Structure 1
């Protein structure tokens, strides 16, 4: 079994689920007392999100890269960054360490393509919904057609992530906003919804909406286990 390098804490609310899923899946596949071999570094999220939001991307990237170097020294064979947005720094860590990284957008894109779907409601932070680093992977590698909410919808999705979900705050009112946004996109042709922020599955599960949802946290974790056991 390979050792999975995990760059966590972005945010820690969803990193907990990564640790659980990685171990549960290895146990399920191998049986007995088996668990995942993991080298984890949990960053102080403020050291990443603060500079990123202020436009100092190099500073945010440097924090993630240092975490990557730490897990490499701890014996990681490859790595994942436990975030859709901070996944933008996957190439930076690969370049600095020479380790292979599994970009979360690849795990999501492959799962949707494998189900034969094309039009996907893309929900995440504004960075994920509006910038090219994530969208281009879905479009160019997997032939998908991402659909995002209007500006007010993107603001609502983004605000709830940063001001509630990353702080462990779960509100029925916010769930209702997300459900309406997803159903509106479904009405415009979306065949499924990509929960492209690792905190969104804390709020939205399949039972809440009428179209299939793709949980980026779970899909990313399963892709890491696949590689660890290959």
Structure 2
């Protein structure tokens, strides 16, 4: 099996759920404990978020590359970034990344294409919803990506940073989020923040949910086990 390198800490909750989901998916398939080895480099979440919010792109990219290099030094065979937002600069740094990397955007886009989706709503942190990296990634598969309006974006941002990143979930926030996604005539909804699956699951809505964390974890596990 290949050794997985996870660039984590962005956030605490996301990293925990990545580790748990990868190992849970393995057990669901094999019912044994020969889990793939996993290395985690946990970044400074506040520093990382400050670089995002202040649009310090050069420092942001350097910090990501430093973390990925650390995973290579530790012995990872390939890497993933356990968040959606750092994929905004993936195209800029892809040639400098020291190991093969699995993109969350590409993984989710392939899943959406397989399900026959044509138009999806992107939800996530402000940085992700204000960017265009999901739109670019999905355009290769002829899938349109739309985003909530500015007020709705702020509601989602507040839910994520006020609650989900510290593993807090409230019924009020769940209903607010459901009210937002139900306003849009789309084939599916991208949970484009890896904390959002804590808030709602498929059982909560008739909208088809694309759980970016679970999809990314499944692609990661498949890569780790491709010679098992």
Task: After TM superposition, give the deviation of residue 223 of structure 1 in Å.
Answer: 0.5
- Cα distance between partner residues in 1 of 2:13 and 2:207: 25
1:40 is aligned to 40
2:212 is aligned to 216
Contact preservation (8 Å) 1:48, 1:61: no
Task: After TM superposition, give the deviation of residue 221 of structure 1 in Å.
Answer: 0.4
- Cα distance between partner residues in 2 of 1:54 and 1:147: 24
Task: After TM superposition, give the deviation of residue 118 of structure 1 in Å.
Answer: 1.1
- Cα distance between partner residues in 2 of 1:182 and 1:222: 25
- Cα distance between partner residues in 2 of 1:131 and 1:147: 11
For 1:101, what is the secondary structure of its paired residue? coil
Contact preservation (8 Å) 1:65, 1:92: no
2:90 is aligned to 90
1:178 is aligned to 177
Contact preservation (8 Å) 2:108, 2:210: yes
2:166 is aligned to 167
Contact preservation (8 Å) 2:53, 2:127: no
* Bigger mean CA deviation after superposition, 6-15 or 80-89: 80-89
Aligned length: 226
For 1:184, what is the secondary structure of its paired residue? coil
For residues 50-104 of structure 1, give each alpha carbon's deviation from its aligned partner in whole angstroms, at most 9, with x where no partner exists: 1211121222222221110111011111111000112224345543343111111
1:144 is aligned to 143
For 1:23, what is the secondary structure of its paired residue? helix
1:134 is aligned to 134
Task: After TM superposition, give the deviation of residue 199 of structure 1 in Å.
Answer: 0.6
**Structure 2 unaligned regions, length at least 5:** none
Task: After TM superposition, give the deviation of residue 206 of structure 1 in Å.
Answer: 0.9
Contact preservation (8 Å) 1:120, 1:193: yes
> Runs of 4+ in structure 1 displaced over 4 angstroms?
none
- Cα distance between partner residues in 2 of 1:11 and 1:85: 11
Cα-Cα RMSD? 1.5
Task: After TM superposition, give the deviation of residue 163 of structure 1 in Å.
Answer: 2.2
For 2:183, what is the secondary structure of its paired residue? helix
- Does 1:124 pair with 2:120? no
- Cα distance between partner residues in 1 of 2:225 and 2:213: 19
Are residues 67 and 92 of structure 1, via their aligned partners in 2, closer, same or farther at CA, if it must alter by over 3 Å?
farther
Contact preservation (8 Å) 2:120, 2:186: yes
- Cα distance between partner residues in 2 of 1:96 and 1:150: 35
What's the TM-score once normalised by structure 2's chain length? Answer: 0.93
**Structure 1 unaligned regions, length at least 5:** none
